[in-house]
Amino acid sequence: MEVFKKDVPFWKGNLHCHTTMSDGVKTPREAIALYRRLGYNFLAITDHRRVTVPESHVEEGMLLLPGIELDYNLPEEVVHIVGFGMTSDLLPRLRYELGPQAGVNAIRACDGRAIVAHPHWSLNTMTTLLAIHDATAAEIYNSMSYLRPDSSDILDVTAAHGKLYPLVASDDTHAYEGEEGVSYTMVQAEELSAEAIKRAMDEGLFYASQGPRIEQITLDEGKMTVQCSPVERVYFHSNLVWTPGRPVIGKDLKQASYTLQREHGERFVRCQVIDTQGKSAWSSPIAL
């Protein structure tokens, strides 16, 4: 089984950023111009509790998606839900007192897609993450969450208990002090359109990155193999605490394989590739 399609392009996008319409320091126009200069193909501006609808869908080659960020305060944690790609009026459907699942449901009812934002920064528990349904993805890395940017630990624990969130990476840009352009999502879609991006993400045709490319992932003959741009480390993560062969370390690695351990109870596997600059790309977990 190959995860990605042949001869279909990948598009680079950020699905989480803020502007002066909430608590960001740049205007929407400035944010759009910045991400265009950084070579992004698509962008969702996700200001807090308000939908940012772009004036045009495609501007100078960059796809602009409607976006919002919802926030919920729970005991000892918060839950932030990013919504993008809505095609009808979301705000009348929102009832914050009903909690985050109602927010996800409202986004989906408007033909949008929902992402669980920065679960480690939010101190989300496994119980909370297990209870959220119909989210398209969760952020494994969030550039703005300086002290807790990497959510791989809690997402792996959640996966080990049966819920596999597909993984994206986002800037969550607010201050524009270096967090912009650090983390992004690569989506494989036939064309650069809102419907194509959403459809591809529904099919799992994406990965999270800070620079390295994941070109193909194959599950065949009891092995998971990743093909990628040159890196120095490839890690395979699963629900098992320890198995042999999960780290692959070398120079200019363009391919690495891991022998699956189904007979020992391995139920999912994902990979992380790390280049010489310490930048990562992450695949989504795959159920075995």
pLDDT tens digits for range 107-121: 999 999 999 999 999
Give the angle 24-26-32 at the CA atoms, nearest 5°: 110
For 192, other C-beta atoms within 10 Å of its C-beta total 18
* Token pair recorded at residue 171: 């800037």
Distance CA 91, CA 174 (A): 22
Lowest mean pLDDT among 54-63, 107-116, 185-194: 54-63
In the chain, DSSP assigns E strands to 10-14, 42-44, 58-59, 62-65, 67-74, 77-84, 113-116, 137-142, 167-170, 184-188, 206-209, 214-220, 223-238, 247-259, 268-274, 280-282, 286-287
**Does residue 280 have a pLDDT over 70?**
yes
DSSP conformational letter for 263: G
Please answer whether residues 188 and 214 qualify as being in contact, where contact means their C-beta atoms are separated by less than 8 angstroms.
Answer: no
The arithmetic mean of pLDDT across residues 231-251, rounded, is 97
pLDDT, the chain, mean: 96
* CATH number for the domain running over 214-287: 2.60.40
Going by pLDDT thresholds of 50, 70 and 90, the confidence category of residue 147 is confident
DSSP conformational letter for 281: E
**Does residue 58 have a pLDDT over 80?**
no
Distance CA 234, CA 212 (A): 11
Predicted local distance difference test score (pLDDT) of residue 56: 64
The arithmetic mean of pLDDT across residues 199-207, rounded, is 98
Q: What residue ranges do the domains of the chain occupy?
A: 10-209, 214-287
DSSP conformational letter for 150: B
**Does residue 104 have a pLDDT over 70?**
yes
Answer whether CATH 3.40.50.150 is correct for domain 10-209: no
